[in-house]
Structure 1
Amino acid sequence: MALGARGLTGAVVAGAGLAAGAAWLWRNQGTVATSRPVNEWTFTHMSVLMPVDTVPRSARPRPLARREGALEGFGYAFGGRWRTLDDLHRRTHTTGFAVVHRGALVHEAYPGVFASPDTRFQLFSLTKSVTSVLVGIAREEGALGLDDQVVSHLPALAGSAYDGTTVGHLLDMCSGVGGVEDYADPDAPVNRFERAVTGGGSVLDVIRSLPRAAAPGTAFNYSTLDTQVLGQVLEAATGEPLARCAARRLWDPAGAESDAYYFLTRGRPRVALGGGSFNATVRDLARLGLLLARGGERDGRQVVPAAWVERGRGTGLPHLEVGALGDGLPAHYGYANQWWTLGGEHRAFTGLGIHGQFLWIDPVADAVVVKTSAWPTADDLERDAETVAALTALVSWLDARG
């Protein structure tokens, strides 16, 4: 049946409205996808939204023993009040949570709407710590060294601000390249990078456009693009994409029970994000944490060099010590080897991702805590402070009870 003039006009207007809405959604997809409550779905369904490269589960999954009752009666002080784990989960939008102590899973919870033991969670910058582990293994194999020049592995960056930067500079976020990682600034390098990843643009062009801000090795500047470069150096040095590198060197020997994956750029050639696109289950992250808490060893096999694990607990560089990272960063963190250091007698360390992702490792207490979250904003100093207070208290509670 043919449309009348009025009906045709209405259809045209409606079609134009849909087109405009689709264009707006495309331009603002990052904002929509990371805002609550949508982000609870987004952070557990990245494989629906982006192309991916799978990291297969281990051929020899590592069983996790269970021990009940270890956290019965636990609470923590924050904001002048005594709080419980349920308070932590509610106040900091926890989606998945697991605690391993002395090799046993003593607590597991999935408060997230779409969360379960089988859910792969988007880990954002916690990916950086995984990349560091892979670099350490590849270095032990002789594929690359800390003093290697970036451009010796990535000639396409010759003449860019990364010309003169070493692998060691990238690991400690001291490349001297780029500006402040400010998710609220649409023109910040990290946001231009995100638009290239999701919009089909050139990641290489963004990296090459970054200015020199300081001499390499002299100042800390947290930068996702540094780790993107590090991941691409690793791929070039090993001759393998990140997913295959991770599967063979880490996921299989660590005993992962589930497939993980990296999401890839929409533009071609497809590129995994060494600084932010790893997705895995909470339990498998706990297995990774347990491996590192035990000095990189599993069942008599040295999977990760012990010295590399130690490097992630602090390098002794004054500008990377706890409290020395500069304005805008919490004083309870230092930095080393793509990990956030916590200092103190135990020299615990943690991987972090925006929106509240944590892999907390205390080798002295032989304790690991995994927390995935869906914070309303990328960074939240108050929720970070409460999480740090809670996890510090939790590990102390376990350590005191043996």
Structure 2
Amino acid sequence: MSRLKVAPNPDLTVGPDNKQRWNQPAHRRHGFHNAHRLFRRTLMVRSRNVLMLEEAHQDLTATVPALADLLAHPAFSAFCCLREGQVIMEQAAPDFGTDRPHSIQSITKLHIHLIMGQLIGQGFVSPDAKVAQYLPDIGSGYREANVQALLDMAVSNDFAEDYDDPHADCYDEEIALGWRLPTEDQEEISLKDFASRIRGFRETEARTVAEYKSANTDVLTLIAAQVCPVPLTAQIERIADAVGYEGAFHISLSKDGFPAFSGGGCLSARDLARFGLFLARGGLDLSGNACANANFLRQSLTRSAPSLTPPKEWLRYSNHIMTDGRVVAHAGYGGQFLMVDTVTGTSCAFLSVLENDAGYDDTFMSNVAQVLRHVCCAETA
């Protein structure tokens, strides 16, 4: 048999900028629009029943003119605003649609809020316990940290999430999440190995400003997998059934089979807004049954927690949600944001793809958050 010709997977191979092709600026828009089929391995889940939506369109740009600027931004992919079972407004860029999957990045972290809330409520996890109680083999970067600190992004260690630095630890994390292939001198590490290699835990006083680390979510994922009485895949199906997705929820998987809750989710704008409605319902499923720890969610809104860094300091990071005491929200790398108003029951999903080198712009994201909050609060009429 003649020798077969092979080449490294072009989408997952790292280039000179230490980014895989689908996350390089020239290819990032295609990458975020197709991440669900570009990741090394994924889980795909459909809901048993679909939450049907009625058309009740309003021109929200007339109420919030700044929304029009966001929808005209070159990065814009899709926007969907829902209230209860009604589509208030939706719009998509010419190259996309509100029903197409899109990488939602760190908005995926809201799944850990839901799953850990259940496990804490059921007594499987104590927020005050140290990580080593659940993961005896974890490395020194997390061994002495308590679970609450991870939930609030209040851990100091050597892991760095600096999108401006192409060699920051968060990019090595992508190997474990199944987003890229290792270089020739690296191994394809598991999520357990990645988390265990983090060092440098530093005891600090009660933090007033969050130190955002996606590795915190990875460790919480490992804890949940260790103590949860059902597999994490079953938890994902349970949440999907409670939300009522029309399309599919996709999430990348690590080499050792763990869902990448730190940022591997993909949803359409409509389905992301449906997910927001589930949060607005306080975790009730489509039949009105509890599918989340409602007390945990309510307490997350009002408790003291570290604030985000400027210019988003008006939001706190509490139990893996972003909140100002009224909204439930989360941002995502590349330009994603979900904003849910607990007063009006309005859910706004905004998807976009920033094509600068870092793939992130804090000023842009702060503006998105402010505009979506105005949209949500304006929905009282």
Q: Same fold (TM over 0.5)?
A: yes
| Secondary structure of residue in 2 paired with 1:312 | helix
Q: Deviations over 1:292-350 (max 9, x none)?
A: 11222244312222212213324214xx14xxx45x6632322111112235xxx2131
Identify the residue that residue 34 of structure 1 maps to in structure 2. 23
For 1:79-228, what aligned pairs fall within 5 Å after superposition? Answer: 83-85=66-68, 87-91=69-73, 93-111=75-93, 113=95, 115-157=96-138, 160-197=140-177, 198=180, 199=182, 200-215=188-203, 218-219=206-207, 220-228=210-218
Letter in 2 for 1:218: A
Is the contact made by 1:53 and 1:243 (CA closer than 8 Å) also made in structure 2? no
For residue 390 of structure 1, what is the aligned residue in structure 2? 371
Q: Which runs of 5+ in 1 are unaligned?
A: 1-14, 77-82
Matching residue of 1:6: none
Q: What are the equivalent positions in structure 2 for 1:3-402 lying under 5 Å apart?
A: 25=14, 28=17, 30=19, 32-69=21-58, 71=60, 73-76=62-65, 83-85=66-68, 87-91=69-73, 93-111=75-93, 113=95, 115-157=96-138, 160-197=140-177, 198=180, 199=182, 200-215=188-203, 218-219=206-207, 220-238=210-228, 240-248=230-238, 250-265=239-254, 268-298=255-285, 299-317=287-305, 320-321=306-307, 325-326=308-309, 330-343=312-325, 347-376=326-355, 377-399=358-380, 402=381
Contact 1:169 1:217 in 2 (8 A): no
**Structure 1 length as normaliser, TM-score?**
0.80
Change in CA separation of 1:302 and 1:99 when aligned onto 2, cut-off 3 Å:
same
Q: Which amino acid aligns with 1:246?
A: I
**Contact 1:52-1:263 within 8 A present in 2 as well:** yes
Between the aligned partners of 1:283 and 1:295, the Cα distance in structure 2 is 19
Residues 305-314 or 283-292, more deviating: 305-314
CA contact (8 A) 1:164 1:216 kept: no
Answer yes or no: is the 8 Å Cα contact 2:225–2:231 preserved in 1. yes
1:387 match: secondary structure: helix
Query: CA shift at 1:120, angstroms?
Result: 1.6
Report if the CA contact (8 A) 2:77-2:351 is conserved: yes
Q: Output the CA distance in 2 between the equivalents of 1:260 and 1:109.
A: 20
- Judge conservation of contact 1:180–1:221 (CA < 8 Å) in 2: no
Amino acid at match of 2:199: P
Distance 2:324 2:92 in 1: 26
Deviation by residue 1:77-109 (Cα, 9 ceiling, x = unmatched): xxxxxx452x21222612121001244211112
Q: Which amino acid aligns with 2:346?
A: A
In the alignment, the residues of structure 2 paired with residue 66 and residue 342 of structure 1 have an alpha-carbon distance, to the nearest angstrom, of 30
* Rounded Cα–Cα distance in structure 1 between residues aligned with 2:21 and 2:319: 32
Structure 1 runs (4+) greater than 6 angstroms displaced: 21-24
Is the 1:179–1:213 Cα contact (8 Å) retained in structure 2?
no
* Residues in 2 aligned to 1:45 and 1:202: alpha-carbon distance in whole angstroms: 24
2:12 and 2:22 in contact (8 A); partners too: no
Q: Judge conservation of contact 2:156–2:203 (CA < 8 Å) in 1.
A: yes
C-alpha contact 2:322 2:330 (8 A) present in aligned 1: yes
Identical counterparts, % of pairs: 22
Q: Aligned AA for 2:368? A: T
How big is each residue's C-alpha offset from its partner over 1:13-43, in whole Å with a ceiling of 9 and x where there is no partner? xx9xx99x99985565625422445222111
SS at match of 2:322: strand
Of Structure 1 and Structure 2, the greater helix share is in 1
Change (3 A) 1:23 1:398: closer
CA contact (8 A) 2:119 2:125 kept: yes
For the 8 Å contact 2:112–2:261, the answer to whether it is kept is yes
With over 3 angstroms needed to count, the CA separation of the structure-2 counterparts of 1:152 and 1:94, relative to structure 1, is same
Letter of the 2:295 counterpart: A
Question: Aligned partners of 1:84 and 1:272: how far apart in 2?
Answer: 33
Q: How much does 1:351 deviate?
A: 1.1
Secondary structure of the equivalent of 2:58?
coil
Residue identity in the other structure for 2:324? L
Distance in 1 between residues matched to 2:44 and 2:29, nearest whole Å: 23
Query: Counterpart amino acid of 2:271?
Result: D
Q: Would you say the 8 A contact 1:98–1:286 is kept in 2?
A: yes
Q: Contact 1:261/1:279 (CA < 8 Å) preserved in 2?
A: yes
Q: Structure 2 regions of 5+ residues with no counterpart?
A: 183-187
RMSD: 2.8
- Change in Cα spacing, 1:24 to 1:137, as seen in structure 2 (3 Å) is closer
